[in-house]
Amino acid sequence: MIGYQFMGKAHSHAYRDLPFYFDPKLKPVLKVVSGRNESAVSEAAEKMGWESYELDWRKVIERDDIDVVDIVTPNHTHAEIAIAAAEAGKHIITEKPLALTLDEARQMYEAVKKNKVKHMICHNYRFAPAVQVAKKLIEDGRIGKIYHFRANYLQDFIMDPEFPLVWRLKKEVSGSGSLGDIGAHSIDLARFLVGEFDEVVGTMETFIKERPIGEMAGGLSAKSDKSTLGEVTVDDAVTFIARFESGTLGTFEATRFAGGNRNKNKFEINGEKGSIRWDMENMNNLEVYIADDEPGLQGFRLINCTEEVHPYAGAYWPPGHIIGYEHTFIHLIYEFFNGIADNQQPAPNFEDGVKNQQVLTAIEESSKSKRWVKVSDF
Ligand SMILES: NC(=O)c1ccc[n+]([C@@H]2O[C@H](COP(=O)([O-])OP(=O)(O)OC[C@H]3O[C@@H](n4cnc5c(N)ncnc54)[C@H](O)[C@@H]3O)[C@@H](O)[C@H]2O)c1
């Protein structure tokens, strides 16, 4: 694993707990974690259960005892590490967004195809049992033709103007701001549940243009000495609407300036036969409205997706004994390891990462040109 902070913790936990709850066809062995700061990476290795550490990620990729490389570093590093790992024949998991630019994303996808390795991108929210139930309801035709997909991804962790200029706020490191960081998750959920985007029109805004220089300090917290200011070069918020190839209309908002919303990743789907709602902050529950319910008893019903019949949920606890954020990563890694064992390419993968990045690029272009943009133009 390259990197060891916020996502490093989520992924390490997933590798450790995977064989505890599930019976994957292959079991992870936590061989080596890489980081540039020796005292910090050795402490992380010890705490998170990795056998060893390396200061240079290239050494990890050169090692013969490594089969899988997991990339949990900032976005500008994904392409170089993933392409080197693919050329060394390693299977790859990388965090989202796939890359800094669409060009880089395409090069990564070419590299994994050419070297015939398995690949995944960490759009972990697909793997909440309730989201999997939503997918099944749609596939079974229970919602019918989908008219609307409505998603908000709302956070508030950078609202304080003193929150420092961390990597997430620099275009050359992160590619974009709220758009690629959290909007990319809504785009993935939309592609998973509704299908491919056709065209988009959107607008992006940076509310706070300068911030004190600083760095991330675990989770979504940060530290700074507050002495020097630097320019914010990404969006703080984005709003866009979309047409899908299926004819569905999409409305989207991704912002880190929605005070009081810590990680409100939610969507609502309205179809000819019913509606579905999900909200990450109540991630075990799915709200479902079925239009042919008896008159007088119609309305959204609340399904607690913790039963044996709900995807992944049966591996944990009795019904009603809920699971959390970290479990979505276990499910993703379960699919990855089984994919390697069965020689099947799991999803979401680098192809999904490229398609996601096409939508991100089209939205940025639309925000600049102030017009509708076809996703297939990129
Ligand atoms: N799936 C999700 O829900 C989710 C959530 C948060 C972050 N992410 C993604 O995960 C990735 C990492 O984000 P994070 O929040 O863990 O970041 P972080 O700042 O918490 O951790 C980044 C790690 O990368 C290391 N690092 C930074 N620059 C490096 C470089 N040039 N070379 C080698 N190592 C370097 C840091 O030392 C640290 O260990 C990003 O791509 C981000 O978009 C995904």
Q: How confident is the model at residue 224 (pLDDT cuts 50, 70, 90)?
A: confident
- What pLDDT was estimated at residue 225? 80
Q: Looking at residue 73, what is its pLDDT?
A: 98
Helix, strand, coil shares of the chain as percentages rounded to 5? Answer: 40, 25, 35
- Please state the φ and ψ torsions of residue 232, each to the nearest 5 degrees: -80, 125
pLDDT surpassing 80 at residue 362: yes
- Separation of CA 71 and ligand 1 centre (Å): 8
pLDDT greater than 90 at residue 241: yes
C-beta 36 within 6 A of ligand 1: yes
Residues above pLDDT 90, as percent of the chain: 97
Q: Is 72 in the pocket of ligand 1 (CB under 6 A)?
A: yes
Substitution site in 72, 80, 185, 234 for ligand 1 pocket (most atoms within 8 Å of beta carbon): 72
Cβ–ligand 1 distance for 277 under 6 Å, the answer no
* Percent of the chain clearing pLDDT 70 (strictly above): 100
Model confidence pLDDT, tens digit, residues 286-323? 999 999 999 999 999 999 999 999 999 999 999 999 99
- Strand positions, DSSP E, the chain: 32-34, 52-54, 68-71, 91-94, 119-121, 146-154, 197-205, 210-216, 222-231, 237-244, 249-255, 264-271, 274-279, 285-290, 301-304, 373-374
Which atom of ligand 1 is least distant from the CA of 218? 20
Predicted pLDDT at 194 = 98
Residue of 7, 96, 262 with the most ligand 1 atoms within 8 Å of its CB, for mutation: 7
5 CB near ligand 1 (under 6 Å):
yes
The per-residue pLDDT for 104 is 98
- Is 95's C-beta closer than 6 angstroms to any atom of ligand 1? yes
1 lines ligand 1 (CB under 6 A): no
pLDDT-derived band at 344, boundaries 50, 70, 90: very high
> Averaged over 176-205, what is the pLDDT?
98
The Cα 164–Cα 175 span in angstroms is 18
Q: Which atom of ligand 1 is nearest to the CA of 122?
A: 1
Length of the chain: 378
From the list 173, 174, 193, 194, the residue with the least C-alpha distance to 182 is 174
Query: For position 227, what pLDDT does the model report?
Result: 80
Q: Is 268 in the pocket of ligand 1 (CB under 6 A)?
A: no
Q: What is the mean pLDDT of the chain?
A: 97
Atom of ligand 1 nearest to the CA of 57: 33
Work out the average pLDDT over 80-94.
98
Q: Could you read off the pLDDT of 13-41 as tens digits, one per residue?
A: 999 999 999 999 999 999 999 999 999 99
Which residues 6+ apart lie within 8 Å of 259 measured at CB? 156, 159
Locate the ligand 1 atom nearest the alpha carbon of residue 9 and give its number: 16
Q: How many whole angstroms from 280 Cα to the centroid of ligand 1? A: 21
